Amino acid sequence: MKPPGLNEQLAAFFRAHPYQWLSMYQLAQVAGTGGWRTRVSNLTLGQWSEGVRMNIELRKPYYTIDANGRRITHSDRRYIPPQPAQDLFEVMESEERA
């Protein structure tokens, strides 16, 4: 069996940390320094082995200043898992009660 690729490893990482803001440094450790943004894009577009579009949000980039006075850009992402569909019968019952 083929080992999981970087897209699959990144998807598993996001799924293990739902709703948690993940830094670009954390994502780069999983998906590669030079390609983590492309892999996030692949996941959001469904262009990976599962073909599922993942809802990954981008936090507005923000900046901090390091000890040497250099500006550091932060680019965080978080995964929002799909909400389970409400059972059709629950919907019908709630409408009948209303």
Give tens-digit pLDDT for 38-93. Answer: 999 999 999 999 999 999 999 988 899 999 999 988 889 999 999 876 665 665 56
d(C-alpha 49, C-alpha 28), whole Å: 20
**Whole domain around residue 33: which residue ranges?**
6-97
Joined together, the tokens standing for residue 51 give: 């073909």
Total domains, the chain: 1
User: pTM score, two decimals?
Assistant: 0.77
The pLDDT, as a whole number, for residue 95 is 63
- Domain contains 34: yes
d(C-alpha 17, C-alpha 24), whole Å: 14
Joined together, the tokens standing for residue 64 give: 């901090």
